[in-house]
Amino acid sequence: MRPGFIIGDGAPRLGRRFHLQPRIPFGVFKERTAAAVVSSSRQIDFKDRTDMRAKTAVVLGAQWGDEGKGKIVDVLSERFNAVARYAGGHNAGHTVIIGGQKFVLQLIPCGVLRPGCRGIIGNGVVLDPIAFLKEVAKLRALGVGVDEQLFVSNRAQVILPYHRMIELAAESAPGRKKIGTTSRGIGPAYEDKMARSGLRIVDLLRPELLKTHIEAACGEKNAIAHALFGTDPLDPAQMYDEYAAAAEQVRPFVRDTGRLLNQILREGGSVMFEGAQGTMLDIDHGTYPFVTSSSATAGGAATGTGVGPTAIGTVISVTKAYVTRVGEGPFPTEIHDAVGDHLRARGMEYGAVTGRPRRCGWLDIPLLRYSNQVNGAEWLVVTKLDVLDELEEIPICVGYEIAGKVTDEIPADVQGLEAIKTVYTRMKGWRSSTEGITEFDKLPQEARDYLRFQERESGAKIGMVSTGPDRDQTMLLPEFAAALASLHA
């Protein structure tokens, strides 16, 4: 490891470690950095940079999504001025329970559930205006301050009906291998973005441009869908009328959110970046092609919001005490017997968006270690510990056997993942309730051993443990609590 420095006074902080080349004296590095960083109105000194670094965090899923990120973002959001969603669309489902009341958020960041916390939908998100307005209306009816707290990037891409048409037709086509998408148009919208033929929110707000775009796109998409799948054509005039009306309702929420986020940080505020889906669904680092169409890993937080990578303070990775996956794709530790059904029932493992039953499996240490490596995760949050309460013995995958050789390396291809034979160690269960426990020392000894093993083997330090679905059924470990307190120091 190269020589490194942590800027600070020695107290636990959320700031990232960064490395300097030994040949550059630290004082010279400081002077060069201070001279190079300039805002639009003033020069930012080196202290500003380290303060900014310490007041941001990325919260993301360690595996295939559904790890309980929504609850964790909600719990942590009281310590942040803004929560910014940076990828995905309304295919994500975050469930938050507050005082017994259930909120299911698909597109809107969980931060809006905290009065005074701004929720920001970043440029890396694909937004269906109709779905967005329906979600806004539901939250507004529940008394959530969406009109004051919610902002949408003018650079975010727009999902239109032909995206859903093409995705649904492709998933249903005879002989085509199913990916297991939600058929909500997410993938085709990202395809248009990368082909530079998409529509952005800023364009949605220009009626003439919107009309021209819809007419041209429908001509192309209708022809493709009919030729390949026999799909009936969409009416561009009807589509324009619907989306032109929706645009006027979306307009009050639209901002240059990259500028807004950077302004919050320059003024000493704090920002949490909220991931969607999970690391193993990332378009580059996941179990390709059974992945989503966006960058779900920590790197996506910078490209998906317009905040530079040096402003990312730390990465908090969320994992269940076991593992789940919804839809198709390889899953090395999947349980195929009654124990899997038991975990699904106790954990209420059904998709928040689709209602699909989730596949359940044992904790996979090589997978978690890989995820932490890709994301640079410093902190680990473990959810649904209480789901394991009734088990007498708990297997944990500690390695893979592939072609007769034991390894902890994650194969890049589906064939390699499907060839894995999992290597397990087994830990004693605690056979007593952990639900609602909020102090680590009050957990059964076996539960503490299980968590410490997970921490030791994964390479990230456990900062929080969730022992139930409600906001209050959460424990913060002292070192993590102290690091969070540094946000306001």
> Which 3 state secondary structure label does DSSP give 45?
coil
Q: Alpha-carbon distance 272 to 40, whole Å?
A: 24
* Contact of 136 with 96, CB cutoff 8 Å: no
Q: Alpha-carbon distance 93 to 105, whole Å?
A: 6
Structure tokens at 384: 């649904």
Residue 327 DSSP code = S
Q: Which residue has the tokens 């300039």?
A: 38
Contacts of 339 (CB under 8 A, 6+ apart): 391
Q: Is 163 assigned a catalytic role?
A: no
Q: How many CB atoms lie within 10 A of CB 9?
A: 7
Which of 51, 66, 74, 364 does the annotation list as catalytic? 66
Q: Alpha-carbon distance 8 to 394, whole Å?
A: 40
Q: Is 488 assigned a catalytic role?
A: no
Distance separating the N- and C-terminal Cα atoms of the chain? 30
Q: Alpha-carbon distance 383 to 75, whole Å?
A: 13
By the 10 Å C-beta count (0-12 exposed, 13-18 middle, 19+ buried), 439 is classed as exposed
Torsion from C-alpha of 200, 204, 205, 207, nearest 10 degrees: 140
Which of 74, 90, 94, 213 does the annotation list as catalytic? 94
* Contact of 381 with 318, CB cutoff 8 Å: yes
Would you please indicate which residues are annotated as catalytic (active-site) residues?
A: 66, 94
